[in-house]
Amino acid sequence: MSPNELLPIVMVAGFFTMMMIGVPVAISLAVSGFVAGFIGFGPMLFSLLPSRMYGVVSNYTLLAIPLFTFMGVMLEKSRIAVDMLDTIGKAMRGLNGGMGLAIVLVGVLLGASTGIVGATVVTIGLLTLPVLLRRGYKTSIACGTICASGTLGQIIPPSLVLILLADILGESVGSIFAAAFIPSMALASIYAIFILLLGWLRPDWMPAIPLEERSQTSRLQLCKDILGSVLPPLLLVVAVLGSIIAGIAAPTEAASMGALGSLVIAIVSRRLSWQVLKQTLHGTLSISAMIFLILLCSQPFSLAFRGLGGEALVHDLFMMLPGGELGAILFLMAVLFVLGFFLEWIEISYIALPMFLPVFLGYGTDMVWLAILVALNLQMSFLTPPFGWSLFFLKGVAPPEVKTSDIYLGALPFVVLQMLAVALVFFFPALATWLPQAIGW
């Protein structure tokens, strides 16, 4: 192997080294790409870079990212999400594991309305973890339920993960959203069944809400709370996702209406103030800037990797694997799972996937199916130690008596459940492909 053929490997190794010593992801991507590309080809390799970066910033579909982010941050900062959680928790009444089931349902609704894992985990953790512990819930189960439910926003549309995967894989956002609907609901159902079974088998781990606490809220008041705090965000989500999946509106158009809808809900519920608006705009800007900076800095990395023949190396590696296309997909799933222990989903998306994509294009793999498998796999990175961000978020707001080991142990059963969801979509591709085909995407 010649020195130039080693450069792609050295470039990837250099990127990971810089990451491990604490250099920001975007800077690590740009520096490793520029240095390796300059050594291999000189400045001529980067003559294409301006047009590639312009293509990123002028991509109309990516405009949906800050708009969907605004919608989610507004619902979180205006505390509409808080009211939703409190109401659904009361609706569970005397069911063993009922509060755990309520957390999963809230995770679904917050995932569909905010799509921001940190906001969801912190909100649910602050409100429910002390209550769950006071009611006698096993600490590890309570922590695992909160962390896992908070990650549902990564697979439930309109997830930012799905938008970026659609861009990377060259598929329409509507088809990816439609494909994610059934698998995301299946994963939430798997969580719910697990919690109900655990509540039935071990009621001492997940006791029901005490009768005296349930009697403080009448059924009439509960119905009013549901209409006031659960129905408006639910209708907003249905309107936004329904218009995209049905082909009525483009993702960016629907996202703009979602942002406006969240603003209207905050105004009608008298939760909008200058402070809330300021916090929402700041949060939207921070999240969007982080995503777009990594997007832009990944361009010199991917350009250098391709120019130096990295794609050929990856292709040769995959050709050595047994099992053809299915073997390659299993290998990709294993690589993404391992990377998830150390990297965030956006870093994995813009490093690993562009390297492997040509192999699956050569196999003629259904990109919609592959996108959902990847999204489910990336979701696990939020729960896998040592760098699972959901675990960190919960630890930051957990009571002092909750140990880090409790949070890690509680997350493990849900990692297994997520693996089950990946296996279901792998063995039954129709779970991801049926809906897009049925509606003509």
Model confidence pLDDT, tens digit, residues 388-436: 778 877 877 677 888 878 888 888 999 999 999 999 999 999 999 998 8
> 32 in a domain, yes or no?
no
Q: How far is it, in rounded angstroms, from Cα 331 to Cα 326?
A: 9
- The whole-number average pLDDT for the span 204-219 is 71
> 7 in a domain, yes or no?
no
Of these ranges, 3-12, 83-92, 155-164, the one predicted with the greatest mean pLDDT is: 155-164
Using the predicted structure, report yes or no on whether residue 437 has a pLDDT greater than 90: no
> 9 in a domain, yes or no?
no
> 88 in a domain, yes or no?
yes
> 79 in a domain, yes or no?
yes
DSSP tally for the chain: helices H, then strands E: 22, 0
* Banded model confidence at residue 387, pLDDT cuts 50, 70, 90: low
> 15 in a domain, yes or no?
no
Using the predicted structure, report yes or no on whether residue 215 has a pLDDT greater than 60: yes
Q: Can you give the pLDDT at residue 95?
A: 72
> 3 in a domain, yes or no?
no
In angstroms, the first-to-last Cα distance of the chain is: 45
Q: Can you give the pLDDT at residue 307?
A: 75
> 22 in a domain, yes or no?
no
- The whole-number average pLDDT for the span 25-54 is 79
Buried b / exposed e along 103-127 (16+ C-beta atoms within 10 A): bbbbbbbbbbbbbbbbbbbbbbbbb
- The whole-number average pLDDT for the span 260-272 is 85
Using the predicted structure, report yes or no on whether residue 2 has a pLDDT greater than 60: no
Domain that holds residue 405: 59-438
Chain centre distance of CA 273:
29
Q: How far is it, in rounded angstroms, from Cα 157 to Cα 180?
A: 7
**DSSP assignment, residue 209?**
P
In a 10 Å sphere around its CB, with 0-12 CB exposed, 13-18 middle and 19+ buried, how is residue 98 labelled?
A: buried
Count structural domains, the chain. 1
Q: Can you give the pLDDT at residue 213?
A: 62
Report CA torsion sign: 243, 246, 248, 249.
Answer: positive
Q: Percentage of residues in the chain with pLDDT exceeding 90?
A: 10
* Banded model confidence at residue 115, pLDDT cuts 50, 70, 90: low
Higher pLDDT, 407 or 15: 407
- Which two structure tokens, joined as six digits, stand for 54? 């312009």
